[in-house]
Amino acid sequence: MARTSKVETQPKEVTHLNIIESFSEFKDTKNIDKVTLMNVIEDVFKAMLRKRYETDENFDIIVNPDKGDVEIWRNRTIVEDDKIENPNTQIAYSDAKKIEPDFEVGEEVTEPVNFLDFSRRAILAVRQNLSSRISQLEKESLYEKYKNREGEIVSCEVYQIWKKEILMMDDEGNELILPRSEQIPSDFFKKGDTIRAVISKVEMNGNSPMIVLSRTSPVFLERLFETEVPEIFDGLITIKKIVREPGERAKVAVESYDDRIDPVGACVGVKGSRIHGIVRELKNENIDVINFTTNPTLFITRALNPAKITSIKINEETKHADVFLKPDQVSLAIGKGGHNIRLAARLTGYEIDVYRDSENYTEDVPLDEFADEIEGWILDELKSIGCDTAKSVLELNTEELVKRTDLEEETIKELRSILQKEFEA
């Protein structure tokens, strides 16, 4: 029966390499779990053993990451004094008896490895190797951590301000970058300020992760809405699309699949309570919340709010819309600096041109004024497809109206006749 004896020939502080004292920076390494840290330390010391003994197979490495202790034990088999072939894996019977008189040939002796037996250069190499491995692991772990969080909002502290970017620090001391191009034009920060931004991009720059933040991304605005509007966070309201000109204006198209929920009202809140916080965060950026619809005419009309549209002519093939407005509404449709019309075009996907009504242009008539001639349910059917005025109905031919409504062809011909008479008169 083989016996094992662990013999300490040197003081504990010599035979046990204490990580807390000698490698203290590695014990509480950020972003690396204990199991991975233990494996790295074990691999590094195995490399040291292989360099000295050509193998590490007969060594046991015990790592205690909580205390920072590392113990290395060498296992050797007892052989006759004249039969030693490998002094690393075998020990002479006469030497074994000095350790313990009861030892016999064939048994195994386990002894601690004394770190004083290694040169200072070897210990320094272990330290450098360990430092390099853990540093790389930290970088890879940090990359994975933030890569999985792309699109999330984070709060970081301003650490240093440069001409083209701001260096930020998170709660764990990790560095993040907020480029000038990703800041709202009216943003002004000083060292120590806490900034909210969205993680827009995480990539490896050489061997180091580069975490880029943004306050101009539409995703930032989307996450702010999720924070302020519970119905969006819970999925009861869906944000279909967001377009922004940071610091100036933004348009948000929302939709609810529950008829009991008014998506625009829910996003704005009572007396603007919900949207005011978002506006303040975005340095008073004007935010238009719009009901999404698949009806292009109605969607363009809503997107050009607050301008009141007289009529719209759409070319589906070229994705172009000609919008006609009263002279006093043109400037509202275009907006300050052209922001309103540009954002409306980006939101709807149509190239939009606005035109003033000519002097001879016949005023359009709301459908509600025909309530005494056309039944209410027919008017509601027309409104459901975005036709709120007489001209918006007449701009669609009979075939198109049959296709887009539940009305019969004869009914459509009759109501078209009624609407046409209004303009002929």
Rounded Cα distance, 236 and 252, in Å: 16
pTM to 2 decimal places: 0.64
Closest C-alpha to 72, from 148, 155, 8:
8
Other CB atoms within a 10 A radius of the CB of residue 197 amount to 24
Residue 20 confidence (pLDDT): 40
Strands 90-92 and 69-79: parallel
The average pLDDT across 165-186 equals: 93
- For residue 288, pLDDT over 70 is answered with yes
Rounded Cα distance, 8 and 16, in Å: 10
- For residue 316, pLDDT over 50 is answered with yes
The average pLDDT across 291-315 equals: 92
- For residue 210, pLDDT over 90 is answered with yes
Residue 239 confidence (pLDDT): 96
Mind listing the pLDDT tens digit for each residue in 33-79?
677 777 788 888 888 888 888 888 888 888 776 666 778 888 888 88
The average pLDDT across 241-268 equals: 93
- For residue 83, pLDDT over 80 is answered with yes
Rounded Cα distance, 5 and 99, in Å: 9
Closest C-alpha to 251, from 345, 355, 331:
345
Bigger pLDDT: 215 or 120?
Answer: 215
- For residue 15, pLDDT over 60 is answered with no
The average pLDDT across 83-105 equals: 83
- For residue 222, pLDDT over 90 is answered with yes
Residue 122 confidence (pLDDT): 75
The percent of residues above 70 in pLDDT, for the chain, comes to 88
For the ranges 25-34, 109-118, 224-233, the one whose mean pLDDT is highest: 224-233
Residue 56 confidence (pLDDT): 84
Mind listing the pLDDT tens digit for each residue in 383-401?
888 788 888 888 888 888 8
Rounded Cα distance, 203 and 255, in Å: 34
Residue-by-residue DSSP string for 105-131? TT-EEEEEPPGGGS-HHHHHHHHHHHH
- For residue 267, pLDDT over 80 is answered with yes
Q: Is 52 helix (H, G, I), strand (E, B) or coil?
A: helix
389 burial level (CB within 10 Å; 0-12, 13-18, 19+): buried
The average pLDDT across 220-236 equals: 94
- For residue 16, pLDDT over 50 is answered with no
- For residue 297, pLDDT over 50 is answered with yes
Bigger pLDDT: 87 or 64?
Answer: 87
Residue 8 confidence (pLDDT): 44
- For residue 161, pLDDT over 60 is answered with yes
The average pLDDT across 130-151 equals: 85
